[in-house]
C-alpha cells in the first residue's frame, strides 16, 4: 500500500465523520440551480419587453427561484437535524417538484424564443 507508506497521515483507523456535509453540498447545488433558473427567468423578462403574456414565464421562474432558495435552506436545516438525531431523511418530493418546474421554464423559454421575432 503505497499511500500508507508515503502519506501516513491519510490513513484513518476510524470512519470519517460526514454529518451534514452531504446535505450542505446538496443545498449548494440547489442554490446554483435557483440562480440558473433566476438568470433564465430574468432573460425571459428582458426579452418580453413589457408584453405581459410573454413575461408570465419569466415572472413565474423568478418566483420559483426565490422559493427554491428558501426551500433549499429549510431542507438543509431539516436534514442536518434528522441526520444528527439518527433519523432517516425525508422523501425526495422537492426534487421532483423542482425538476418539473425547470422543465416548464425551459419549454416556456423555448416557446418564447421561437414565437418572437428576432
Report the percent of the chain where pLDDT is more than 70. Answer: 78
CA distance linking residue 68 with residue 70, whole number of Å: 5
| Mean predicted confidence (pLDDT) in 7-30 | 70
85 falls within a domain: yes
Is the confidence at residue 20, as pLDDT, over 50? yes
Range of the domain at 77: 19-115
3-state SS assignment for residue 17: coil
- % of the chain at pLDDT higher than 90: 14
Closest among 58, 65, 72 to 37, alpha carbons compared: 65
Would the pTM of this model clear 0.95, i.e. be above it? Answer: no
Domain count, the chain: 1
Q: Distance between CA atoms of 21 and 17, rounded to whole angstroms?
A: 9
Residue with cell 454529518: 19
- pLDDT tens-place string over residues 22-72: 888 888 998 999 999 899 889 888 988 888 887 888 898 899 899 989 988
Q: Look at 77 and 8; give whichever has higher pLDDT.
A: 77
pLDDT: which is higher, 108 or 19: 108
What average pLDDT does the segment 79-96 reach?
77
Dist. CA 50–CA 47, nearest whole Å: 9
* pLDDT of 1 over the 50 cut: no
User: Does 6 map to a domain?
Assistant: no
Amino acid at each position: 500500500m503505497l499511500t500508507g507508506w508515503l502519506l501516513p497521515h491519510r490513513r484513518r483507523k476510524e470512519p470519517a465523520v460526514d454529518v451534514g456535509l452531504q446535505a450542505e453540498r446538496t443545498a449548494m447545488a440547489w442554490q446554483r440551480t435557483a440562480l440558473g433558473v433566476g438568470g433564465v427567468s430574468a432573460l425571459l423578462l428582458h426579452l418580453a419587453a413589457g408584453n405581459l403574456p410573454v413575461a408570465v414565464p419569466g415572472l413565474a421562474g423568478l418566483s420559483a427561484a426565490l422559493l427554491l432558495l428558501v426551500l433549499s435552506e429549510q431542507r438543509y436545516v431539516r436534514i442536518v437535524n434528522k441526520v444528527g438525531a439518527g433519523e432517516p431523511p425525508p422523501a425526495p418530493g422537492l426534487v421532483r417538484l423542482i425538476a418539473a418546474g425547470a422543465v416548464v421554464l425551459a419549454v416556456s423559454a423555448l416557446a418564447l424564443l421561437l414565437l418572437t421575432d428576432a
